[in-house]
Amino acid sequence: MLMGTALAVYVGQVGSPFAVSLVAMAYYLGTMVLSPVWGAVADVTGRRRAVLGLTGLVATLAVLPLLVVRGVWAPIGVRLAYAVFAAGYAPVALAVVSAYGGSASRGQSVGYYNSTRAVGFAGGNLAAGVLLGLLVPEEIYLVIAGLSLVSTLAVLFVADPEPTPGRSPTPTALAREVKHRLLPAVGEREHLRRNGLAWLYVALAVRNMTVVGITALSAPYLVQVVGVPEPVMGALLASNHGVQVVAMLLFGAVADRAGRKPLIVAGMVGSGAFALLAAAAALPSPGPGRLVVAAAAFVVLGTSFSAMTTGAVSFVGDVAPPRRTAELLGLRSTAKGVGGVVGPPLLGILATLTSYQVAFALGSLLAFAAAGLAAVALVESRPAAAGRPTPGD
């Protein structure tokens, strides 16, 4: 989060809104392509902690070129290289978390995970707002590399509840199995149709076009258009994740009691409301009114994202067959990545041709469309609601 926000500000100083949008697009392009690959590698080898450690270490090394590159395109390329390996974290870690939760308390387990993750997101944005005014770019990049290394060392203490196999497949066998999983034959896609899982991926992609497109442009929008200082910008961005710290825990319990689908739909509706509020932040006269509207937008985003994510991850964990959880959670990251690849340049072009406000308002339509798709296509997966055992358990 610190890396993405800092790069967005630096690129925005020398490039257009479209160039700023490519910072986010590069990250989501890497996660879109590699998340299911790393998830499948972890599932096939059964060595989740090794995958977490290896991808984290290489991602840390990928940060270091920022110390010497300049301009617009080179930093965006570094962001892409970082994402290729950082993509290994979320699907594998979530597979471990989902296994610990089981069918009875999967939502709560996912809520704890996402709550602690939100602490890091909030801290990253707060740090960005402060450090951008205190440090030169090279010093900020060293801080980013140091934090990445600390997180990599931390995964060495992860205890995987699944037993580690005595033997690992050969590289050839591993590549063949990963390819088979990610490109299944037509008759081997039943797991993608359970409870409308494939439609969940589509809805997540469409919703992410709105939210990632807007958040990719938020740092320069808040500073240049809304007119807030950089530390306030960082605090506003962090408020989204600060809300998630508590909301993830609350919605984790709700997901286990009320089901997954209501949270997914409500979260996508809230994402559309966030887009409209973000567009409205520049309407009041310069002063406190703008700050209040912008703060409300990010509070709505934090709440809606918490609901949607807790419901979606629990949904995937419910319907995933044995030994495919990390793979299918990786496909969730891929679906989000599609939205992250398409949304930022789409809204960046609209903002360049019109204005940030018009781009954000039009972007809200995609989130509302995603909510409608989820409401129609998904079938509730919570075991108690469905009246059957969880396929993944």
What is the structure's pLDDT at 185?
56
Which two three-digit tokens encode residue 354? 């019109």
Residue 392 domain flag: no
What is the structure's pLDDT at 55?
93
Residue 390 domain flag: no
Residue 131 domain flag: yes
What is the structure's pLDDT at 389?
44
Q: Please give the backbone phi and psi of residue 9, each rounded to the nearest 5 degrees, phi first.
A: -70, -45
Kindly report the CATH number assigned to the domain that includes residue 317.
1.20.1250.20
Using alpha carbons, list the distances in angstroms from residue 167 to 45, 171, 172, 180. Answer: 8, 12, 14, 20
Residue 34 domain flag: yes
Residue 219 domain flag: yes
Separation CA 393–CA 320 (nearest Å): 9
Residue 355 domain flag: yes
Separation CA 42–CA 56 (nearest Å): 14
What is the structure's pLDDT at 184?
64
Tell me if 391 sits within 8 A of 318, measured CB to CB.
yes
Q: What is the pLDDT of residues 113-125, one digit of tens each?
A: 878 888 888 888 7
The residue whose two tokens read 């440090």 is 135
Using alpha carbons, list the distances in angstroms from residue 87 to 93, 305, 360. Answer: 11, 19, 27
Residue 165 domain flag: no
Number of domains in the chain: 1
Quickly state the pLDDT bin for 157 (edges 50, 70, 90): confident
Residue 284 domain flag: yes
Separation CA 254–CA 382 (nearest Å): 11
The range of the structural domain enclosing residue 200 comes to 2-160+171-385
Average pLDDT over residues 223-248: 87
